Structures are given as structure tokens and as C-alpha cells.
Amino acid sequence: MERKAASGDALGHDSLILGIESSCDETACAVLDGAGRIRAEFVASQIADHAPFGGVVPEIAARTHLALLPDMIHRALAAAGTTPSGLVAIAATAGPGLIGGLIVGANTARGMALAADVPFIAINHLEAHALTARLPDTGGNPPNFPYLLLLVSGGHTALIAVEGVGRYRRLGTTLDDAAGEAFDKVAKLLGLPYPGGPALERLAAEGQGGRFDLPRPMLGRPGCDFSFSGLKTAVAQLVARQPEGGLPRDFAADLAFAFQSAVVAALADRLRHALAMLPGATAVVVAGGVAANKAVRAALADIAAGAGLPLAAPPLRLCTDNAVMVAWAAIERLRAGDAADPLGVRCRPRWPLEHVRNMQIAG
């Protein structure tokens, strides 16, 4: 059977693409049309499933994706008024991420694409985050290439020059913990529930500065790399000196404030360095779960404004993992002239953005 080949030329405004996201602990699917309008959007959080363990359990995540995806996809297609054969392509995250979850989502998409005789597109999760700010259906002004991306999440912290679809140049990355990972670990030290990042932000809003002098890792050093492990260790040492039992609320709030301030200072300093390395940038784009943090957004907006650039940030719901960004990345790829991917493309737990077009066939 000769399968259809998706192309940018065939992508009309009414063409529909299904996106599937299952790289970690959000199960999601979405349908977008060729103009980037969101026709259907569903996300199921697995927080309750993983909270008893204080973090994501890969096997539980994969089994939950498997249980949720079929009905979620059915509802998304119904909401968009289409069927699998009415799609021009089906896209799924193929990496990086937890391999079990990636396989569930990608195999679901592959099976649907084969049965409906429509193209399959394997999406790099980081590329999807990188391109989300260009989605027209978000109420903002989509940035033109090139722009500077700060990708800041639980698994990734990096500064990337986004020079075009499929053209990415890493300017700096974390040498140890990602910023979101540090938020979660410090939140646990402070006795906060999972997920730790939002809980720590709420606690920090009660705190005041001046009580703790925490380190600012990499601050002022050349380049754009990050480091958060030493900052996390400094918090752990302060907590360890406290008497056993629950931490006093004011102590925890002031320490949360100090930690968040140190992370914000580090992100801001590295962003300034990166802007100097990309003088032709049209905008500063921030993406990833930590981009939902209000203190982070405010600091980045100030730096962007000081450089005469807009800060482009997706709506909060599109900062965390979602399928809208997966479908949109597929649209961007098709518009750029990329061909659909073979069904045998391998899922990859590690897939650097710089090597986004270097896929492998399973087997």
C-alpha cells in the first residue's frame, strides 16, 4: 500500500493534524488546523498517581498513558469534527523523555497513521517547546527567526539560538541539575508536597529577603552555562542545622524566597550573556514548566525590555507539557518542506535539539 505523503504545499487552513504527547507525566492530545488554530485540546495530569512517591515513576506513567490515550484521542477527534482518515498527518513526541511513555504515544500514532493511511511525524519534545511561541492561536505576536530561547523545565535548562525550523544552536546548558529539578528537590527539603515547583513559589510569596545569603552559581562567569547543584546543597545544609521536626513557617518561607531569588538571578545573568552572543535576535522566548513562575517571567521581561526586545512566552497552560505544541511543531516542519517520517523511526530518551533531524530507524 502506498501511503500518503504530507507536504507544506498540501497544508491548507482547514487541514487537520493530531498531536500526541506522552514524554513524562502528562497525557495529552490536540487537533490543530493548518492555520495553527486549536480545534481540540485535552491534557490529563498524573500528579495524583505520582505524588505518593515524591516524583515521577516511569512504569506508572507509561501504564497511565496507555490507559488514557485511546479515549482521549477519540474525544479530541470528535471535538474537532473529524476522523483519523480526515487528518493530513499524525504527530507524536518521539524524544527526549521517559522511554516507556514515548513508546506508548509514538506507537499509538504509528498505528493510527498506518490504519488511516496518513503520514506520521516524529517530534522532538524540545523543538516543540522551542516553536510554541510562534503558534498564532495564543493571542501574542509570534516571533520571527532568529530568536533566543530560554528552555527552563524539570528536565532541561538551556539557552538556544533558534535560527529556523530544524536549525538550533545551543549557547549554554546546565552542568548538573535543571532549574525545575532544583525547585522540586528544594521543595522536598522544605517539606512541601509534590509537585514542588508551584508549591515553593507560593511559599516564597510569604517570605522576605535578607535572612539567607545563598550562592549564585556561575554568576558573572563567561559563557551561558548553568549550575544549580551547589545552590541546592546550600539549602540542604541550612535545613539540616534546624532541630528535628517541621520547619518553622517563617524560616521555610524566607529560605524559599532566597532560593527562588538565587535561581532568578542565575537565569537573568546567563540570559544577558546569551543576548550578547546573538545580537540579531528578534525576541526572547521562554518555554518550559518553570516559565510559569511569575518571578522568573518578571525578571526575564525586564532583561528583554532592556535589550529592546519583546519577551514571548506561551500561555501558562502551554508552558508545561502539552500536545498543542506537538501538533504545531509538525505544522512548522511541513511548512518548512520536511517530509513525513518512516513508521520505523526509533524513540529516543536522549535527543539533543542540535541533532533534531538525526533520526534512526528501529531494528
Q: How far is residue 91's CA from residue 219's CA, in Å, rounded to a whole number? A: 40
HSE-up of residue 142 (Cα within 13 Å, Cβ side): 14
Q: How far is residue 255's CA from residue 89's CA, in Å, rounded to a whole number? A: 49
Separation of CA 140 from chain center:
19
Reply yes or no: is the peptide bond before residue 195 cis, omega within 30 of 0: yes
Cell of 29: 492530545
Which parts are annotated binding residues for substrate? 151-155, 184, 197, 201, 293
Cell of 155: 528536565
Which parts are annotated binding residues for Fe cation? 125, 129, 321
DSSP reduced 3-state for 194: coil
Closest listed residue to residue 199, CA positions, set 212, 188, 214: 188
Cell of 328: 504545531
DSSP reduced 3-state for 325: helix
Which parts are annotated binding residues? 125, 129, 151-155, 184, 197, 201, 293, 321
φ/ψ (deg, to 5) at 172: -170, 155
